[in-house]
């Protein structure tokens, strides 16, 4: 499959893979060097051959017996094609910095080196080309200059002087690269599959092919994936890895995927992402840590327009500086929010580059901390504390800080998507210090200590409240929430109460909470008030009064009536039809008998017939019938009703 390379197609089983990208100034011999190493000319375009410079990314592979091939990404060196260079070095293992002995380090050499460092490329090999054009002393001088620029803590960078004309020094470079490939540590295929597309084309007889370097997870033949940001579902029909046909592609591999689905080539652009089918959504707000280069030509002001390079994608946006003032100086770093003009797919830990809005210079780069950044409260102290906790490579450490130390209630699925963790991986990072709760909006994480504290505190508070309010049958949920020393978030409080009710520690009746088994003590005044209300109800017979009517006729206040109603409903002396109307069991038993009488007399249970039997108004008849529906004595069927449980009134209302 072109794009993954041509050659013998066979299934591969090697575990570790080495991807090498060239870097360096234009016309310093990168493409010729790749041809020496692989036998492949990566300048495929006629214009590239005519002009003698690389315009697009080139890909080549060196076979390595008994091991996965070495993949090479040849990037253009001309400053007009720096965007292409940036897209080509994402996800590589080794940067091969090429500098010509006659020219020495040039502006693009420095910029490409900055790009490698900003994208987190730790391993660099130096190649000094065109050694046949200069004296040996000049070769040594250039190498010394470059070693000073590279300045690694571990000592000198491996350096190889070569001639692309005679081939001198190439064998030593090949030997080094092959040994590096054999020593390469296997990259674990963790997380959901992620691939930033750097090429897409239609191949006759095959269909749509996309290429790129897999940066996370794995994908197999017949797996479904999603193309972002267009959110198109595709199926992987075939896979090529490192120039070989394969059943599966993993993180760290250069691969080409033949995908099928409802898609045209024009719908796929460089920088689009091919992702695991369960990947999180795209986002246009990203919280990150950014660092400007020491040699950045100017500082960045708050809300400066910039270009962001993420994977193979370039997008315009603005830099919202979250800490340290409204200016970021060369060599400084800060927490920022990237406000993007277009949505992108990214996850925690992914690196990006910043260039100025005109794309003339590379300014710096950074690392994604939260791909789903909030648009409000972005620079509040609590939010900055969250971002500092996320500034780690360990999801376990982040969870420990956020949930245990900071006491946050965390959205589990949002965190999982942010870190690109599969479901089973998310389970593995949730240790015993965390407790998972299910809420209406999804799964949440709270610290096990905070959860247990809630289970202990709520019953203790209720016991104290009952002692202070012996005549009240319970407390409203909102009153409980505000009364606790530390007000829990609504989902946490709901989960705590649900657990306590499930284990019969707490009960909820008529919107009020109480300890299970608790009964309010009734004062002599409450008894007097109840008797007055009960007498009035019995006097009214079928004409069930509203609370406002009870208050007017008995002289009792609305607050007193509501208090008595809660107690009476709890012990069964009253039944609540609506928020403003109550009835005794005796009254309801009589009204239920009227319904049964209609059936016995062969009449349909309609509002009109029932109203006539009650001898009251239409509104009251409707409220009574709807109450009977709610307790499942009757069920409405269009304009009539049917009896569901003829024995229910006897069980419910006989006292």
Q: Does the 524-653 domain belong in CATH 3.30.70.580?
A: no
Give me the chain's average pLDDT, please.
87
At 8-18, the pLDDT tens digits run 222 333 345 78
State residue 636's pLDDT score: 93
Instruction: Report DSSP letters for 163-222, one per residue.
Output: -TTT-TTHHHHHHHHHHHHHHPPPPP--SS-EEE-SEEEEETTTEEEEEEEEEESEEETT
Residue 320 β-bridge partners: 337
State residue 522's pLDDT score: 74
Q: Just give the CATH number of 450-515.
A: 1.10.10.10
Sequence-distant (≥ 6) Cβ neighbours of residue 580 within 8 angstroms: 546, 547, 548
Sequence-distant (≥ 6) Cβ neighbours of residue 508 within 8 angstroms: 474, 497, 501
When computed from its CA atoms, the radius of gyration of the chain, rounded to whole angstroms, is 37
Q: Average of pLDDT values for 397-407?
A: 96
Q: How far apart are the first and last CA of the chain?
A: 83
Q: Three-class SS of residue 393?
A: coil
pLDDT band, very low/low/confident/very high, at 155 (cuts 50, 70, 90): low
Closest to 453 (Cα-Cα) out of 430, 482, 485, 429: 485
Of the CA atoms within 13 Å of residue 88, those in its CB half-sphere come to 27
Q: What is the pTM of this model?
A: 0.76
Q: What is the DSSP letter of 384?
A: H
At 381-393, the pLDDT tens digits run 999 999 999 999 9
Closest to 455 (Cα-Cα) out of 385, 502, 423: 502
At 234-264, the pLDDT tens digits run 999 999 887 678 899 988 788 889 999 988 7
Question: By the 8 A CB rule, do 43 and 49 touch?
Answer: yes
Report the percent of the chain where pLDDT is more than 70.
91
In the numeric block, which tokens belong to residue 635?
């069920």
In the numeric block, which tokens belong to residue 440?
């209406």
Closest to 178 (Cα-Cα) out of 32, 35, 66, 254: 66
Cα separations in angstroms, 314 against 304, 596, 603: 16, 75, 76
At 418-460, the pLDDT tens digits run 999 999 999 999 999 999 999 888 899 999 999 999 999 999 9
Domains 450-515 and 524-653 share a fold: yes
| Phi and psi torsions of 551, nearest 5° | -60, -40
| Phi and psi torsions of 308, nearest 5° | -110, 135
Closest to 639 (Cα-Cα) out of 605, 614, 611: 605
pLDDT tops 70 at residue 153: no
pLDDT tops 90 at residue 332: yes
Q: Average of pLDDT values for 155-171?
A: 91
- Could you tell me the residue ranges of all domains in the chain? 18-183, 194-276, 283-383, 450-515, 524-653
At 265-324, the pLDDT tens digits run 778 888 899 999 999 999 999 999 999 999 899 999 999 999 999 988 889 999 999 998
Q: Three-class SS of residue 448?
A: helix
Taking the C-alpha atoms of residue 226 and residue 629, their distance in angstroms, rounded to an integer, is: 48
Taking the C-alpha atoms of residue 503 and residue 366, their distance in angstroms, rounded to an integer, is: 49
At 335-370, the pLDDT tens digits run 999 999 999 999 999 989 999 999 888 899 999 999
Q: What is the DSSP letter of 79?
A: G
Give me the architecture of the 18-183 domain, per CATH.
3-Layer(aba) Sandwich (3.40)
Q: Which CATH number fits domain 283-383: 2.40.50.140, 2.40.30.10, 3.40.1080.20, 3.40.1190.20?
A: 2.40.30.10
321 Ramachandran zone, left/alpha/beta (phi>0; psi -120 to 50): beta
At 174-187, the pLDDT tens digits run 999 999 988 877 66
Taking the C-alpha atoms of residue 385 and residue 398, their distance in angstroms, rounded to an integer, is: 11
Residue 159 β-bridge partners: 126
At 505-516, the pLDDT tens digits run 999 987 889 999
194-276: which CATH topology? Elongation Factor Tu (Ef-tu); domain 3 (2.40.30)
At 65-111, the pLDDT tens digits run 877 788 888 775 434 434 454 554 556 788 899 999 999 999 888 88
Cα separations in angstroms, 3 against 34, 257, 258, 260, 264: 16, 9, 11, 17, 18
State residue 90's pLDDT score: 59
pLDDT tops 90 at residue 45: no
Helix, strand, coil share of the chain (percent; to 5)? 35, 30, 35
State residue 239's pLDDT score: 93
């Amino acid at each position: 499959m072109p794009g993954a390379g041509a050659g013998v197609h066979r299934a591969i089983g090697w575990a570790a893979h080495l991807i090498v990208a060239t870097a360096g100034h234009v016309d310093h011999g990168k493409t010729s060097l790749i041809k020496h190493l692989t036998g492949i000319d990566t300048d495929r375009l006629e214009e590239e051959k005519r002009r003698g410079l690389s315009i697009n990314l080139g890909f080549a592979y060196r076979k390595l017996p008994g091991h996965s091939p070495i993949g090479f990404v040849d990037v253009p060196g001309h400053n007009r094609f720096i965007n292409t260079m940036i897209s080509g070095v994402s996800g590589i293992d080794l940067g091969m910095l090429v500098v010509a002995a006659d020219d020495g380090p040039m502006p693009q050499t420095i910029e490409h080196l900055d790009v490698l460092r900003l994208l987190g490329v730790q391993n660099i090999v130096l190649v000094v080309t065109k050694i046949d054009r200069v004296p040996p002393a000049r070769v040594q001088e250039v190498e010394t200059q470059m070693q000073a620029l590279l300045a690694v803590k571990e000592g000198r960078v491996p350096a190889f002087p070569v001639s692309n004309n005679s081939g001198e020094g190439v064998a030593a470079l090949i030997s080094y690269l092959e040994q590096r490939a054999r020593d390469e540590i296997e990259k674990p295929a963790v997380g959901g599959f992620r691939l930033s597309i750097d090429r897409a084309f239609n191949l006759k007889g095959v269909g749509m092919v996309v290429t790129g370097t897999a940066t996370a997870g794995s994908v197999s033949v017949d797996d479904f994936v999603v193309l972002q940001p267009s959110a198109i579902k595709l199926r992987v029909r075939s896979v090529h890895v490192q120039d070989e046909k394969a059943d599966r592609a993993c993180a760290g591999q250069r691969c080409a995927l033949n995908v099928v689905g409802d898609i045209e080539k024009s719908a796929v652009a460089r920088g689009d992402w091919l992702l695991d089918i369960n990947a999180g959504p795209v986002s246009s707000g990203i919280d990150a840590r950014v660092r400007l280069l020491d040699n950045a030509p100017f500082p960045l002001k708050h809300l400066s327009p910039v270009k962001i390079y993420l994977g193979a994608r370039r997008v315009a946006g603005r830099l919202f500086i979250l800490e340290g003032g409204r200016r970021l100086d060369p060599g400084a770093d800060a927490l920022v929010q990237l406000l993007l003009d277009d949505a992108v797919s990214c996850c925690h830990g992914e690196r990006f580059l910043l260039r100025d809005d005109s794309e003339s210079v590379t300014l710096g780069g950074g690392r994604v901390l939260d791909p789903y950044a909030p648009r409000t409260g972005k620079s509040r102290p609590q939010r900055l504390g969250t971002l500092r906790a996320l500034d780690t490579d360990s999801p376990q450490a982040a969870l420990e800080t956020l949930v245990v130390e900071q006491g946050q209630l965390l959205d589990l699925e949002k965190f999982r998507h942010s870190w690109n963790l599969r479901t089973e991986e998310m389970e593995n990072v949730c240790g015993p210090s965390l407790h998972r709760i299910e809420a209406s909006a999804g799964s949440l994480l709270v610290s096990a200590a905070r959860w247990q504290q809630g289970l202990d505190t709520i019953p203790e508070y209720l016991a104290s409240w009952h002692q202070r309010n012996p005549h009240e049958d319970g407390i409203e949920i909102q009153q409980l929430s505000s009364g606790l020393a530390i007000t829990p978030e609504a989902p946490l409080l709901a989960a705590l109460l649900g657990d306590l009710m499930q284990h019969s520690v707490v009960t909820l009746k008529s919107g009020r909470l109480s300890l299970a088994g608790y009964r309010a003590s009734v004062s002599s005044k409450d008894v007097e008030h109840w008797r007055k209300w009960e007498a009035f109800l019995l006097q009214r017979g079928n004409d069930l009064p509203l609370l406002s009517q009870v208050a007017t006729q008995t002289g009792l206040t609305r607050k007193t009536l509501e208090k008595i109603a809660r107690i009476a409903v709890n012990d069964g002396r009253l039944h609540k039809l609506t928020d403003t109307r109550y009835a005794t069991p005796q009254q309801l038993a009589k009204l239920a008998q009227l319904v049964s009488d209609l059936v016995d007399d062969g009449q349909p249970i309609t509002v009109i017939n029932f109203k006539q039997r009650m001898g009251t108004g239409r509104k009251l008849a409707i409220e009574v019938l709807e109450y009977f529906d709610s307790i499942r004595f009757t069920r409405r069927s269009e304009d009539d009703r049917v009896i569901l449980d003829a024995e229910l009134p006897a069980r419910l209302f006989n006292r």
